[in-house]
Structure 1
């Protein structure tokens, strides 16, 4: 599989975005006070690693095909247990979560734009699949914020 220069540049940007997401989620999982949020950040870092691996494979010339089933919104459901942290800790956790949500919105929009630039239907489907997973990450973060009355 041969990528155009534009496709390669877009994938390199996505690779950088995914690396930043992984770094942030790993850092945020250590900084968060609430156990549920720590777990959420850790799980999201693992998901972002899969995205990074996929983008890296595509950059290496492999036409990666994702599972045919679409990531569903039900996978974004969060069993919400309100945080028992004190107000200062909750404020810190809210900041981390809101920053992560802003990051997911950005990354999702980059994938959304990138999908239209690819000539391979398989790669468009793969990138659209990852973009949907990014939306689900955002939904999980929103659900945590909402459950803890942190989203205004």
Structure 2
């Protein structure tokens, strides 16, 4: 598979975004005491690892087969088990929330709210970056792969949003 310079640059950008998402989800899962939020962060982090594997496959000239049900390909899943990148990134610096007090009028920890707010902003940015990349690729198969990843990024944002809304951290107006 031959990419234009722009397409390759966009894939490299998405690779960097995925690495940061993996790092954040891993770090944030270790910072929260809420088991529900920890689970959301871990699940989303695992999907981000699948996205990174897919981007790496594309950069290596391979077209991964995508499971449209959201599970990723078996090749991606086996690669995820072989690549301990999440563990390598855990020691890196990351956003640290300022406050760990619990709000008196709600049932959440302000530190968890900070983590959720940051990761939600990150997901919005990454989803938008995928949107731009999709329009720049000439190969329809690659566009479909990037579209599939973007949909999963939106699902990550939705899972964090729903958690925040259920805890009173986020009230849509």
Same structural fold, with TM-score higher than 0.5 when normalized by the shorter chain? yes
Where 2:136 maps in the other structure, the secondary structure is: coil
2:162 to 140, 143, 149: 143
Instruction: State the alpha-carbon separation in 2 of the partners of residues 68 and 36 from structure 1.
Output: 26
Q: Do residues 128 (structure 1) and 152 (structure 2) align?
A: no
Question: Which 4+ residue blocks in structure 1 deviate beyond 6 angstroms?
Answer: none
1:2-151 correspondence to structure 2 within 5 Å: 2-69=2-69, 87=102, 90-151=109-170
Where 1:116 maps in the other structure, the secondary structure is: helix
List runs of 5+ in structure 1 lacking aligned partners: 72-84
Instruction: State the alpha-carbon separation in 2 of the partners of residues 68 and 31 from structure 1.
Output: 32
Instruction: State the alpha-carbon separation in 1 of the partners of residues 32 and 111 from structure 2.
Output: 7
Instruction: State the alpha-carbon separation in 2 of the partners of residues 68 and 47 from structure 1.
Output: 14
Q: Deviations over 1:58-106 (max 9, x none)?
A: 00001223224579xxxxxxxxxxxxx9716610001101100000000
Q: Deviations over 1:13-51 (max 9, x none)?
A: 000000000000000000012111011111111000000
How many corresponding residue pairs? 139
Instruction: State the alpha-carbon separation in 1 of the partners of residues 70 and 51 from structure 2.
Output: 15
State whether residues 8 and 59 of structure 1, in contact with CA within 8 Å, keep that contact through their aligned partners in structure 2.
Answer: yes
Answer with 46-55 or 33-42: which moved more.
33-42
TM-score (norm 2): 0.76
Quote the residue 1:80 is aligned against: none
TM-score (norm 1): 0.86
